Amino acid sequence: MGEIRTPKEQIVKYWFSIVDECGLSVDASEAHERCWRCGYKAKLERCHIIPDSLGGPDSVDNLVLLCHRCHLENPNVSDPEIMWDWIRAYGTPFYDTFWTLQGEKEYKFIYGKPVEKEFSERNIADIEVMNRFINEAFQRTSFHFGHPHLNSATLAGVLRMALKNYDKENGKLK
């Protein structure tokens, strides 16, 4: 496979002339600079809807724009509907919240309850109360080699460490 030559501007123009942006993590005005799945401002990569390896062409109707992180996770299947189902399933209403939400989902999966319930059980009504603990926990993380971001499991771990430290400081050891 060679370099994809279809300009990003053409991809945006094509898709946002036929796709409703409701439910996406990006709106049309920023689709050239924000990932269509997570909504983060990032260097965007042209991603095949139907992979090149499955005969997908390098044409505007077979390309979407994703950040590197989302590009690695996209579905590699021959049904083009699956890509749009996947992109829409992760739609977030606010920019730059997607990966935090993924970390919260991971937390619930690992620990069996949502972070909101953890806060409620501790009578923490304002997230600002937890910011110091969360920021301290972030200082005790690292990136996986070659990946310039924290994965969902690490984000869930940050939340858990912050809650444990909150409990320790407030005499609520579990």
**Cα separation, 6 vs 3, whole angstroms:** 9
- Summarize the confidence of residues 129-143 as an average pLDDT: 90
Q: What is the number of residues in the chain?
A: 174
- Summarize the confidence of residues 138-166 as an average pLDDT: 87
Task: For residue 77, give the amino acid letter.
Answer: V
pLDDT of residue 174: 55
Instruction: Return the H-helix or E-strand segment holding 67.
Output: strand 63-67
- Summarize the confidence of residues 97-126 as an average pLDDT: 94
Instruction: Tell me the per-residue pLDDT of 161-174, one tens digit each, with 9 for 90 and over.
Output: 999 999 999 987 65
Model-level pTM? 0.83
pLDDT of residue 149: 76
Instruction: Return the H-helix or E-strand segment holding 99.
Output: helix 98-111
Question: What SS3 state is found at 63?
Answer: strand
Residue 146, phi-psi category: left (phi > 0), alpha (psi -120 to 50), beta (remainder): left
C-alpha to C-alpha distances, 37 to 27, 51, 125, 134, nearest whole angstrom: 11, 17, 30, 26
Instruction: Tell me the per-residue pLDDT of 70-89, one tens digit each, with 9 for 90 and over.
Output: 999 999 999 999 999 999 99
- Summarize the confidence of residues 119-146 as an average pLDDT: 88
Contacts for 123 with CB less than 8 Å, ≥ 6 apart: none
